[in-house]
Amino acid sequence: MSRPTPPTYKTKNWPAYNEALKRRGSLTIWFDPEMIWDAAPTGKRGRQPTYSDTAIQTCLTMKVLFGMALRQTTGFVESLLRLIGLNWAVPDFSTLSRRQKTLAVNIPYRGSNGPVHLLIDSTGIKVEGEGEWNARKHGGPKRRVWRKIHLGIDDQTLEVRALEITGSHIGDAPVMPDLLNQIPADEGFCCRKAA
């Protein structure tokens, strides 16, 4: 059987194609001037934190997003704030390092206008440990280890609203109360298992 010839494409709209390629490299980052950058007093004895959790989370997000070290992250955020015209102080690398251990990550979501229709399903993740590597290298029985991620997704916004990680032997029904407890009490919810 002969191999099919792949289709050939000819670009005829070079200006639009060139602009599309240039747009792939564009970067836009918004800083809300209303963001609470400085930490509020805790009311406890001792030195008060200088930067809010939002400021630390913003810097660490830049660090992970662009794969930078902490010192590079500090310089990057300083330059962004200078370009925007905000004269906020930026946390130094040791502050970022210390605070990232205890930071409670806040992921904002859009609230719903009525009851939340929550779709619940799970997916598996294969955990590859020493057993599988050993089996591939030296032969022998393979031992597969799986973890399950149970997701609760808002039907309207398609945002993940609840998440639970369990072993592979746990189904969706036993995890349902834990998933529902992650939805704020002021929002009603309707559930159905995703098909």
Q: Is residue 136 part of a domain?
A: yes
Hey, what are 33's tokens? 């001037």
pTM of the model: 0.54
Q: Is residue 105 part of a domain?
A: no
At residue 129, the pLDDT reads 61
Q: Which of 54-68, 93-107, 164-178 is modeled with the greatest confidence?
A: 54-68
Q: Is residue 1 part of a domain?
A: no
At residue 26, the pLDDT reads 81
- Domain, as residue range, for 79: 30-99
pLDDT band per the 50, 70, 90 thresholds, residue 97: very high
Could you tell me if 120 and 165 lie in one domain? yes
pLDDT band per the 50, 70, 90 thresholds, residue 81: very high
Hey, what are 37's tokens? 């950058």
Could you tell me if 58 and 84 lie in one domain? yes
pLDDT digits (tens, 9 = 90+) for 106-155: 666 666 667 788 888 888 887 766 666 676 677 666 566 778 999 988 88
| Last residue within a domain, chosen from 54, 71, 99 | 99
CA 182, 183, 185: angle at the middle one, nearest 5?
115
At residue 60, the pLDDT reads 93
Q: Is residue 154 part of a domain?
A: yes
Could you tell me if 120 and 189 lie in one domain? yes
Whether 191 has a pLDDT exceeding 60, the answer reads no
pLDDT digits (tens, 9 = 90+) for 32-47: 888 899 998 888 898 8
Could you tell me if 128 and 188 lie in one domain? yes
167-173 own/partner pairs: CB under 8 Å, 24+ apart: 168/124, 171/122, 172/120, 172/121, 172/122
User: Considering its fold, how many domains does the chain have in total?
Assistant: 2
At residue 168, the pLDDT reads 83
Q: Is the dihedral of CA 182, 55, 101, 99 positive or negative?
A: negative
